[in-house]
């Protein structure tokens, strides 16, 4: 296995992890921003008000995007397993 193959494989794995984490991170960012604005307007400083909606929104997004997650992970794994003989040469 050459250095180029290892670097390419690492680059693909990092791209995939960023792609799969993006929907959850964007959801947490948007919900957190909305809740922060709500807290600033109403002057309610309850700690659970920030965590519970974020967790619920992220769970909903996870269930919505789960088939896509699995498809992307399966495609990456299949491509990796099929290319193992070529990588070892």
Q: pLDDT tens-digit profile of 36-88?
A: 999 889 888 887 788 899 999 999 999 999 999 999 999 999 999 998 888 77
* Mean pLDDT computed over 3-13: 90
Range of the domain at 36: 3-88
CB of 74 closer than 8 Å to CB of 82: no
Q: How far apart are CA 4 and CA 83, in angstroms?
A: 14
80 Cβ contact partners less than 8 Å away, ≥ 6 residues apart: 9
The residue written with tokens 């040469």 in the block is 89
Per-residue pLDDT at 49: 80
Measure CA of the first residue to CA of the last residue in the chain; give whole Å.
6
Give the chain's domain count.
1
pLDDT given for residue 35 in this prediction? 92
């Amino acid at each position: 296995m050459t250095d180029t193959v290892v670097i390419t494989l690492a680059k693909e794995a990092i791209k995939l992890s960023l792609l799969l984490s993006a929907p959850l991170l964007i959801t947490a960012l948007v919900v957190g921003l909305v809740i922060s604005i709500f807290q600033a307007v109403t002057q309610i400083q309850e700690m659970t008000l920030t965590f519970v909606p974020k967790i619920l929104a992220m769970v909903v997004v996870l269930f919505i995007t789960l088939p896509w997650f699995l498809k992307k992970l399966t495609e990456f794994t299949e491509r990796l397993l099929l290319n193992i003989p070529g990588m070892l040469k």
